């Protein structure tokens, strides 16, 4: 049992502060997980208008990160995280004192804009306070923290949504303020680490001069990685699109209940097996682990071609969750290990746009596939796509090794 905690031993005080800040923040994250229900059932929007608002805001939030990434590399990680998240929290708190009406919508959108703008700063901060040997453990710990928080927030939020919408805004904003206060008082500014002397084992992290475009042209591996993760995101988007649709088709009348149970099963697997997987794969490179995660996705989603009973869905959810864990805890370390400290904010704002586009178009593209074939056969398409992108990671690993040998 003690060996399960090996990846987390030796992590700095700052890592543990960030862990508790994420748990607190996610435990109170009610608004965005419940946004569809808030817009439709509480604010009276129809599904088309709500969908337009959510899609439009999602695109805006992606590009707000580009602004945040530039600010992060200019002014510092901690400053940007604290200032922008506190502004976002204040919009939530202000909404909490408003009458329930569509006038809340600008407050919600503004809060999301500023909080999304701080995401690159958070990624840069973690990269600053970790080293390659501790990054897997740190990102694994954060992943657990996020899931601990989200294990509570949807349930609590669902109970309060009907009669206490204003309270949801106040709690969401309040927990965000508490999390930011932890960072403000216990985390030092780390932008100065961009100027530190690093050893040969961290050659790729050394400060460089020039624009982000220049850096990406000099390090195409970052673009290749983002394009590979585009495929992974495309496939993973089916967990929230085709998967529940298939469950509803097989278990007519009980689909929502069955899918809810599978989502809970996913959360339990994440919380219990993340330390195990982190330890088991600790000797593998980040990109090799992402390959293994892709194989899990291939078999997890592909097995649904045979789905006729609950047992196939349980097996599929288990394999998909294993893949999710492996990919999630390995992607950020790969980016951190290949990005100069001087450009961490900007790189962590641009790459998610490329990879996240796969998640955005996944439902649309597979919706077109479903218009010409059955959902069972559509899973074959997903399995083929995932197989192709999984083997792209092997090519990426070879390219990376070759670059290191010639460096």
Does 95 lie in the same domain as 24? Answer: yes
| Half-sphere exposure in the Cβ direction for 312 (13 Å, CA) | 16
85-103: average pLDDT: 95
Given a contact cutoff of 8 angstroms between Cβ atoms, the answer to whether 80 and 183 are in contact is no
Does 175 lie in the same domain as 122? Answer: yes
**CA pair distance 200, 304, nearest whole angstrom:** 46
Does 221 lie in the same domain as 159? Answer: no
Alpha helices in 255-305 (DSSP H): 255-280, 286-302
* Domain final residue, candidates 187, 203, 236: 187
* Domain final residue, candidates 154, 187, 220: 187
Q: Could you tell me the pLDDT band of residue 9, with boundaries at 50, 70 and 90? A: confident
Does 147 lie in the same domain as 220? Answer: no
312-322: average pLDDT: 96
Does 389 lie in the same domain as 290? Answer: yes
- Flag the least confident range among 64-78, 105-119, 130-144, 184-198: 184-198
Of 367 and 52, the structure prediction assigns the larger pLDDT to 367
pLDDT at position 167 over 70:
yes
Domain count, the chain: 2
Does 217 lie in the same domain as 129? Answer: no
- Residue 297's domain is classified under what CATH number? 1.20.1250.20
Q: Could you tell me the pLDDT band of residue 328, with boundaries at 50, 70 and 90? A: very high
Does 216 lie in the same domain as 135? Answer: no
What residue numbers bound the domain in which 281 lies?
Answer: 212-406
Percent of the chain with pLDDT over 90: 57
219-224: average pLDDT: 94
Does 158 lie in the same domain as 94? Answer: yes
| 212 sits in which H/E element | helix 212-218
Q: Could you tell me the pLDDT band of residue 194, with boundaries at 50, 70 and 90? A: low
**CA pair distance 9, 316, nearest whole angstrom:** 33
Does 257 lie in the same domain as 170? Answer: no
pLDDT at position 82 over 70:
yes
* pLDDT tens per residue, range 120-154: 999 999 989 988 888 889 999 999 998 888 777 77
Is 23 a member of any domain? Answer: yes
């Amino acid at each position: 049992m003690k060996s399960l905690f090996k990846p987390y031993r030796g992590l700095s005080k700052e890592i543990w502060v960030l862990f508790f800040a994420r748990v607190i923040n996610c435990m109170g994250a009610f608004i965005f997980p419940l946004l569809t229900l808030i817009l439709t059932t509480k604010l009276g929007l129809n599904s088309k208008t709500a969908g337009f608002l959510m899609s439009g805001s999602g695109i805006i939030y992606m590009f707000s990160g580009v602004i945040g990434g530039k600010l992060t590399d200019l002014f510092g990680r901690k400053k940007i995280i604290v200032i922008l998240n506190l502004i976002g929290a204040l919009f939530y708190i202000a909404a909490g004192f408003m009458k329930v009406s569509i006038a809340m919508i600008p407050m919600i959108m503004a809060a999301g804009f500023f909080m999304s703008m701080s995401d690159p700063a958070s990624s840069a901060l973690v990269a600053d306070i970790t080293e390659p040997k501790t990054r897997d453990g740190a990102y694994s710990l954060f992943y657990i923290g996020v899931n601990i928080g989200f294990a509570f927030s949807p349930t609590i939020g669902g109970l309060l949504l009907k009669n206490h919408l204003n309270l949801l805004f106040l709690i969401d904003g309040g927990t965000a303020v508490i999390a930011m206060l932890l960072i403000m008082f216990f985390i030092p500014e780390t932008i100065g680490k961009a100027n530190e002397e690093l050893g040969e084992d961290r050659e790729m992290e050394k400060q460089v001069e020039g624009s982000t475009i220049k850096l990406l042209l000099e390090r195409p591996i970052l673009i290749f990685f983002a394009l590979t993760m585009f495929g992974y995101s495309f496939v993973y988007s089916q967990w929230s699109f085709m998967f529940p649709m298939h469950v509803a088709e097989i278990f007519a009348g009980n689909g929502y209940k069955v899918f809810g149970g599978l989502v809970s099963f996913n959360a339990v697997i994440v919380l219990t097996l993340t330390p195990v997987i982190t330890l088991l794969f600790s000797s593998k490179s980040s990109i090799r682990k992402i390959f293994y995660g892709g194989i899990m996705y291939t078999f997890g989603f592909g097995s649904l071609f045979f789905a006729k009973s609950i047992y196939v869905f349980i097996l599929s959810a288990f394999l998909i969750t294993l893949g999710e864990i492996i990919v999630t805890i390995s992607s950020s370390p790969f980016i951190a290990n290949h990005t100069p400290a001087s450009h961490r904010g900007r790189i962590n704002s641009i790459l998610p746009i490329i990879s996240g586009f796969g998640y955005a178009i996944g439902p649309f593209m597979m919706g077109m596939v479903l218009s010409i074939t059955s959902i069972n056969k559509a899973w074959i398409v997903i399995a083929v796509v995932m197989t192709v992108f999984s083997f792209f990671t092997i090519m990426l690993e070879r390219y990376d090794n070759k670059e290191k040998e010639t460096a």
